[in-house]
Amino acid sequence: MKIAIGNDHGGVELKRHLVQYLEGKGFEVVNFGSDVTESTDYPIYAERVSKAVVSGECDKGILICGTGIGISISANKIHGVRCALCSEPVSAQLARQHNDANIVAMGARTIGPVMAEGIVDVFMSTEFQGGRHQRRVDKIMMLDRGESVQ
């Protein structure tokens, strides 16, 4: 599996940790993030990772900013993205099983490296359950295309 990862200045350290962790597990990781702690703008990295995932260049994405909020909001503006902000592994599991999330976002100021490892482990290994959840994801994608689901 090929993973796109991106971060702003707040996520440099956690990004480095996760790249090393995931590569150690055999994943191919493409770094679209900032590697310096100089202040920058998270939508830049949300767009890069989102486009890599939506185009099929990468299978899944990881986004990190201070809280994970700005970068996940930004990613969800890109057509085809279903980005879930997670602070623990159960949400990451359900984001895959129920929402078919293709990007996980995390906050470097709100979670530590061990929690982040648990989140990415589950996110990368859990399959979408389909069934009734497919119907709901289809409606999410209708909203994504500007169509009504009423």
Output 87 or 126, the one with its CB closest to ligand RB5.
87
Output 10 or 61, the one with its CB closest to ligand RB5.
10
Q: Which stretch binds ligand RB5 (CB under 6 A): 13-21, 25-33, 50-58, 64-72?
A: 64-72
Output 30 or 69, the one with its CB closest to ligand RB5.
69
Q: Which two tokens stand for residue 87?
A: 């602070």
Instruction: Give the one residue of 3, 6, 10, 14 binding ligand RB5; rule: CB under 6 A.
Output: 10
Output 67 or 99, the one with its CB closest to ligand RB5.
67
Please count the other Cβ atoms lying within 10 Å of the Cβ belonging to residue 90. Answer: 12
In angstroms, rounded to a whole number, what is the distance separating the alpha carbons of residues 131 and 97? 10
In 3D space, the residue among 7, 70, 69 whose CA is nearest the CA of residue 35 turns out to be 7
In this structure, which amino acid lies at residue 54?
Answer: V
Instruction: Give the one residue of 3, 8, 19, 63 binding ligand RB5; rule: CB under 6 A.
Output: 8
Report the DSSP beta bridge partners of residue 54.
none
Q: Which stretch binds ligand RB5 (CB under 6 A): 65-73, 79-87, 114-122, 138-146?
A: 65-73
Residue 65 catalytic? yes
Q: Using N-to-C axis directions, what is the helix angle for 12-24 and 113-125, rounded to 10°? A: 50
Residue 98 catalytic? yes
The CA–CA distances, whole Å, from 81 to 39, 110, 114, 128 equal 25, 23, 26, 15
Q: Which residues bind ligand RB5 (CB under 6 A)?
A: 8, 10, 42, 65-67, 69-70
Catalytic residues: 65, 98
